[in-house]
């Protein structure tokens, strides 16, 4: 007789009479039905492999054992990719997109940098000959690379990197050196124990002149023994300059000095998708748990309610639920822009480079910071159990907060966006992602609180805040301040303007996607509710920006607040059905709180039992330390 599959009765009830087709949303998020089939096949292919499962929870292993265990699984994963029926590269791409990597490699992926930065650097900056020499070797894993840019003393300010690559015309070689302690490469993933090659960013010196930072291919370790090559600690010999700027000893300037920053742009684009995947996991865990958890008393004398029935809990979880759709659609738009810009750049057309830089900085900073805040809210919404390591919130939070710093610290990226916006506004030049700065809203500043009316408010805030920042810069200039001081003294306004720009892009992506998308009526209804909830939520959170730049009144805000709480109530019944549409398997969620069947308490109990401390009633340390203390009559 088939074993009855347990399903928590509350979750079961949540799933009854779903008014929309969950699979339609799954296909939308995957990029189509075929992609969903592909993803599920990959998940089965990988998650069914017993060797990729952890014998004991990773948190109970030593640092060295964690590294060894993750490396074992990563190497096994590579064999599976190579043997994958879909082919290595498509499978790799699917793996990166589905958040599967962290389902298997929970403590970090020793080979991630090889794929996410080392290979993209070769593809984006290597010459044809260099790609012919190294790309196949890299894809075949006959070499493991990393991307070594950040130093102890510099991560943000690339023009301040100290590692030097001096070209010797006699030997036609580059001598790489770390001239000081602060020049030591620090932070590059896999650099410590895994990689045997690195793309090293260094200041290129030739004929006594510094030509700025350039990428160099450096072998770090012997390919057989894995021993560091001689001098690798602070003097690196025989690197090869990646790219083709040295012709017979003469430096040939690239068409744009920032092309050497291209790898970072690629990763910023990837990070938007990655933090969105992590946010989807956190929202799914918190939403299912909030429908299983019953606590306190809503109506005196009644049974304890599901905590999701508290408006306060809906206010915590439904905006991040809406954000997962908003960020996904924006990340898709950014990915498309990246491909268009990259194809153009390969043909020598750099026109879209500033837009790509501006938008990738804006969305990486916005999605990572918002996702980090939302993941923390999801954790808090699960009370004490959300704090447990096995909830998976600590790991998810660590992954999204890291993204606020790596690949360009967010504040620094916001200022890059502001630089681009001020320049564009002043030049009134075209610009893909600042189209609205040119086509700003004309006509009366009255507010209408329809969806279109709210989008117009976002547009006014984005344009208005750039103008406020420019007015601050001009005011400082009139006081005789030097441009760099004026810029520094306007930083608060500049960052607000950049963030308003990023929010407008996300809002317009969401609204436009719903207009263009071929959606069934029920799916359009629920996604439109999420869209309206989200853009009102952000407006209420940043109402100061809108007051500054429009005729928004107290009455308008009260009306929007009422609409917001109405939308919370309207979406509440579909919360579980919406997170079910993400189609995240339990192994990917990796959390007793978020499991599909809602059997939370038994799974929490089972997880606790795995602790080494729970393998005996009295731990040996009692006899060593506690018992003597108890007897010591202090
Ligand atoms: C086992 C199986 C494996 C399976 C597969 C793996 C699975 C993986 C799963 C996970 C997938 C994805 C998750 C993501 C993982 C990512 C890991 C990443 C790890 C982290 C890596 C790093 O952190 S690398 C180091 C990053 N560092 C930075 O970003 C440094 C930031 N600083 C800068 O970029 C520059 O210093 C800065 C831009 C701030 C200033 O540069 P500067 O030269 O000073 O330029 P300015 O003077 O400010 O501006 C001059 C003009 O240049 C323009 N400009 C600047 N930058 C760019 C650019 N990048 N592109 C184009 N243009 C640029 C700027 O706009 C100015 O123009 P203007 O016209 O003169 O105004
Ligand atoms: C998990 C993780 C993985 C990483 N992996 C890699 C890797 O694989 N390869 C690699 O090369 N690097 C890697 N890094 C390093 C990362 O790229 C840097 O830490 C990042 O670029 C920030 O630079 P920083 O550490 O110098 O911070 P700093 O820039 O020193 O930041 C300190 C403070 O200074 C502020 N600040 C700096 N400049 C300005 C400015 N112009 N205006 C206003 N405020 C400013 C910042 O906003 C911040 O508040 C990784 C980092 C992390 C956390």
Who contacts 45 (Cβ-Cβ below 8 Å, separation ≥6)?
80, 84, 85
- Please state whether beta strands 209-219 and 246-247 pair in parallel, antiparallel, or not at all (unpaired): unpaired
| Rounded mean pLDDT, 219-246 | 78
For every residue of 299-321, DSSP letters joined together read STTSPPPBGGGSHHHHHHHHHHH
> Which tokens in the block code for residue 434?
């600042």
Residue 118: inside a domain, yes or no? no
Distance 260 CA to ligand 1 centre (A): 9
Is the ipTM higher than 0.95? The answer is yes
Closest ligand 2 atom, residue 185 Cα: 11
Known binder of ligand: residue 150? yes
Report the nearest-CA residue for atom 9 of ligand 2. Answer: 188
Ligand number with the minimum distance to the CA of 491: 2
Helix axes 521-541, 22-30, angle to 10 degrees: 60
Active site residue 407: yes
Ligand number with the minimum distance to the CA of 89: 1
Residue-averaged pLDDT of the chain: 92
Rounded to an integer, what distance in angstroms lies between the CA atom of residue 266 and that of residue 381? 34
Q: What is the pLDDT of residues 188-220, one digit of tens each?
A: 989 889 999 999 999 999 999 999 999 999 999
List beta partners, residue 251.
246
Residue range of the domain that includes 236: 142-261
Rounded to an integer, what distance in angstroms lies between the CA atom of residue 543 and that of residue 540? 5
Report the nearest-CA residue for atom 42 of ligand 2. Answer: 412
Q: What is the pLDDT of residues 53-85, one digit of tens each?
A: 988 888 899 999 999 999 999 999 999 888 888
Rounded to an integer, what distance in angstroms lies between the CA atom of residue 529 and that of residue 546? 22
Mutate to test the pocket of ligand 2, among 409, 484, 489, 498 (most ligand atoms within 8 A of CB): 409
Distance 581 CA to ligand 1 centre (A): 34
| Rounded mean pLDDT, 389-402 | 97
Give the number of other Cβ atoms within 10 Å of residue 355's Cβ.
20
- Please state whether beta strands 173-177 and 235-236 pair in parallel, antiparallel, or not at all (unpaired): antiparallel
Closest ligand 2 atom, residue 154 Cα: 26
Distance 415 CA to ligand 1 centre (A): 13
Who contacts 172 (Cβ-Cβ below 8 Å, separation ≥6)?
249
Residue 211: inside a domain, yes or no? yes
Rounded to an integer, what distance in angstroms lies between the CA atom of residue 81 and that of residue 97? 14
Report the nearest-CA residue for atom 26 of ligand 1. Answer: 407
At 510, is the pLDDT very low, low, confident or very high (cuts 50, 70, 90)? very high
Residue 225: inside a domain, yes or no? yes
Is the Cβ atom of 188 under 6 angstroms away from ligand 2? yes
For every residue of 549-590, DSSP letters joined together read HS---HHHHHHHHHHHHHHHHHHGGGHHHHHHTT---HHHH-
Among 171-175, 312-316, 499-503, where is mean pLDDT lowest?
A: 171-175
Among 181-185, 258-262, 364-368, 485-489, where is mean pLDDT lowest?
A: 258-262
Residue 507: inside a domain, yes or no? no
> Which tokens in the block code for residue 146?
């990393």
Nearest to 503 by CA among 472, 474, 465, 551: 465
Q: What is the pLDDT of residues 236-264, one digit of tens each?
A: 555 678 766 666 567 777 777 777 788 88
Nearest to 511 by CA among 462, 463, 453, 460: 453
Residue 61: inside a domain, yes or no? no
What's the pLDDT at 113?
94
At 428, is the pLDDT very low, low, confident or very high (cuts 50, 70, 90)? confident
Residue 284: inside a domain, yes or no? no
Rounded to an integer, what distance in angstroms lies between the CA atom of residue 412 and that of residue 421? 14
DSSP, res 171? T
Q: What is the pLDDT of residues 277-307, one digit of tens each?
A: 999 999 999 999 999 999 999 999 999 999 9
Has residue 10 got a pLDDT over 50?
yes
Closest ligand 1 atom, residue 150 Cα: 25
Is the Cβ atom of 406 under 6 angstroms away from ligand 2? yes
What's the pLDDT at 263?
85
Distance 354 CA to ligand 1 centre (A): 13
CA 163 vs CA 64, 175, 215: distances in Å:
29, 10, 11
Known binder of ligand: residue 408? no
Mutate to test the pocket of ligand 1, among 74, 202, 357 (most ligand atoms within 8 A of CB): 357
3-state secondary structure (DSSP) of residue 532: helix
What's the pLDDT at 494?
98
Ligand number with the minimum distance to the CA of 184: 2
Rounded to an integer, what distance in angstroms lies between the CA atom of residue 379 and that of residue 188? 29
Among 240-249, 402-411, 488-497, where is mean pLDDT lowest?
A: 240-249
Distance 407 CA to ligand 1 centre (A): 5
Give the number of other Cβ atoms within 10 Å of residue 221's Cβ.
19
Percent above pLDDT 90 for the chain:
79
Distance 158 CA to ligand 2 centre (A): 10
Rounded to an integer, what distance in angstroms lies between the CA atom of residue 278 and that of residue 370? 12
Nearest to 257 by CA among 204, 185, 335, 206: 204
Q: Are 94 and 42 in contact (CB under 8 A)?
A: yes
3-state secondary structure (DSSP) of residue 146: strand
Residue 174: inside a domain, yes or no? yes
Please indicate, yes or no, whether the overall pTM of this predicted structure exceeds 0.90.
Answer: yes
CA 141 vs CA 48, 135, 161, 195, 284: distances in Å:
24, 10, 29, 11, 35
Rounded to an integer, what distance in angstroms lies between the CA atom of residue 178 and that of residue 463? 45
**Considering its fold, how many domains does the chain have in total?**
1
Catalytic residue among 404, 407, 472, 508: 407
Report the nearest-CA residue for atom 63 of ligand 1. Answer: 258
Q: What is the pLDDT of residues 135-159, one digit of tens each?
A: 999 999 999 999 999 999 999 999 9
Has residue 438 got a pLDDT over 50?
no
Mutate to test the pocket of ligand 1, among 112, 149, 277 (most ligand atoms within 8 A of CB): 112
What's the pLDDT at 439?
47
Question: What CATH number should be reported for the domain holding residue 154?
Answer: 2.40.110.10
User: Who lines ligand 1 at CB under 6 A?
Assistant: 74, 77-78, 92, 95-96, 101, 109, 111-112, 115-116, 147, 149-150, 155-159, 189, 258, 261, 264-265, 267, 270-271, 274, 353, 357, 406-408, 412, 416, 419-420, 423
Distance 333 CA to ligand 1 centre (A): 19
Is the Cβ atom of 495 under 6 angstroms away from ligand 2? no
Mutate to test the pocket of ligand 1, among 98, 141, 155, 158 (most ligand atoms within 8 A of CB): 158
Residue 296: inside a domain, yes or no? no
Distance 144 CA to ligand 1 centre (A): 22
3-state secondary structure (DSSP) of residue 228: strand
CA 246 vs CA 111, 165, 166, 214, 256: distances in Å:
31, 12, 12, 11, 15
């Amino acid at each position: 007789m088939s074993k009855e599959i347990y399903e928590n009765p509350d979750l079961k009830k949540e799933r009854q009479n779903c008014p929309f087709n969950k699979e339609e949303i799954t296909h939308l998020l995957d990029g189509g039905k075929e992609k969903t089939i592909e993803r599920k096949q990959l998940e089965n292919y990988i998650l069914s492999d017993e060797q990729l499962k952890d014998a004991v929870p990773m948190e109970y292993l030593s640092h060295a054992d964690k590294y060894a265990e993750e490396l074992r699984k990563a190497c096994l994963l590579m064999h599976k990719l190579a043997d994958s029926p879909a082919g290595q590269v498509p499978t790799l791409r699917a793996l990166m997109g589905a958040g599967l990597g962290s389902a298997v490699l929970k403590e970090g992926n020793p080979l991630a940098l090889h794929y996410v930065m080392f290979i993209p650097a070769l593809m984006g900056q290597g010459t044809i000959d260099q790609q012919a020499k190294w790309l196949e070797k890299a894809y075949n894993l006959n070499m493991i690379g990393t991307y070594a840019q950040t130093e102890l003393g510099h991560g943000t300010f690339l023009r301040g990197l100290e590692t030097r690559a001096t070209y010797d015309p006699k030997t036609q070689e580059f001598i790489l050196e770390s001239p000081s302690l602060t020049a030591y490469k620090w932070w590059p993933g896999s650099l410590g124990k895994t990689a045997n090659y690195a793309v090293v960013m260094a200041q290129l010196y030739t004929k006594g002149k510094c030509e700025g930072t350039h990428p160099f291919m450096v072998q770090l370790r012997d390919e057989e023994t894995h021993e560091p090559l001689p001098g690798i600690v602070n003097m690196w010999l025989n690197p090869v300059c990646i790219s083709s700027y040295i012709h017979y000893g003469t430096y040939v300037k690239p068409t744009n000095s920032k092309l050497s920053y291209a790898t970072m742009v690629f990763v910023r684009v990837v990070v938007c998708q990655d933090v969105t995947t992590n946010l989807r996991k956190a929202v799914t865990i918190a939403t299912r748990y909030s429908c299983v958890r019953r606590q306190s008393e809503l109506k005196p004398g009644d049974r304890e309610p599901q905590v999701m029935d508290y408006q306060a809990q809906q206010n915590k979880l439904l905006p991040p639920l809406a954000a997962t759709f908003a960020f996904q659609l924006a990340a898709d738009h950014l990915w498309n822009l990246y491909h268009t810009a990259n194809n153009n750049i390969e043909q020598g057309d750099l026109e879209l480079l500033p837009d790509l830089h501006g938008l990738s900085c804006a969305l990486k900073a916005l999605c990572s910071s918002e996702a980090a805040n939302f993941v923390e809210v999801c954790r808090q919404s699960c009370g004490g159990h959300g704090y447990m390591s096995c909830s998976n919130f600590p790991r998810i939070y660590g992954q999204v907060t890291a993204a606020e710093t790596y690949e360009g610290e967010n504040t620094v990226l916001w200022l890059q966006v502001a630089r681009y916006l001020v320049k564009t506004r002043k030049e009134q030049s075209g610009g893909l992602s600042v189209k609205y700065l040119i086509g700003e809203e004309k006509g009366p500043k009255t507010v209408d609180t329809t969806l279109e009316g709210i989008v117009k408010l976002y547009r006014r805030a984005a344009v208005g805040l750039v103008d406020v920042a420019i007015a601050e810069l001009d005011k400082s200039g009139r006081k005789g301040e030097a441009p760099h001081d004026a810029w520094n003294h306007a930083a608060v306004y500049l960052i607000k303007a950049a963030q308003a720009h990023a929010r407008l892009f996300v809002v317009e992506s969401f609204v436009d996607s719903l207009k263009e998308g071929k959606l069934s009526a029920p799916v359009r209804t629920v996604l439109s509710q999420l869209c309206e909830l989200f853009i009102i939520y952000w407006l209420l959170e940043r109402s100061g920006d809108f007051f500054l730049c429009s005729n928004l009144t107290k009455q308008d805000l009260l009306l929007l607040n009422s609409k917001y709480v109405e939308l919370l109530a309207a979406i509440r019944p579909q919360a579980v059905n919406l997170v079910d549409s993400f189609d995240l398997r339990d192994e990917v969620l990796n959390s007793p709180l978020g499991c599909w069947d809602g059997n939370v308490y038994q799974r929490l109990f089972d997880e606790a039992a795995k602790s080494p401390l729970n393998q005996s009633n009295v731990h040996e340390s009692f006899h060593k330390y506690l018992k003597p203390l108890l007897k010591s009559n202090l």
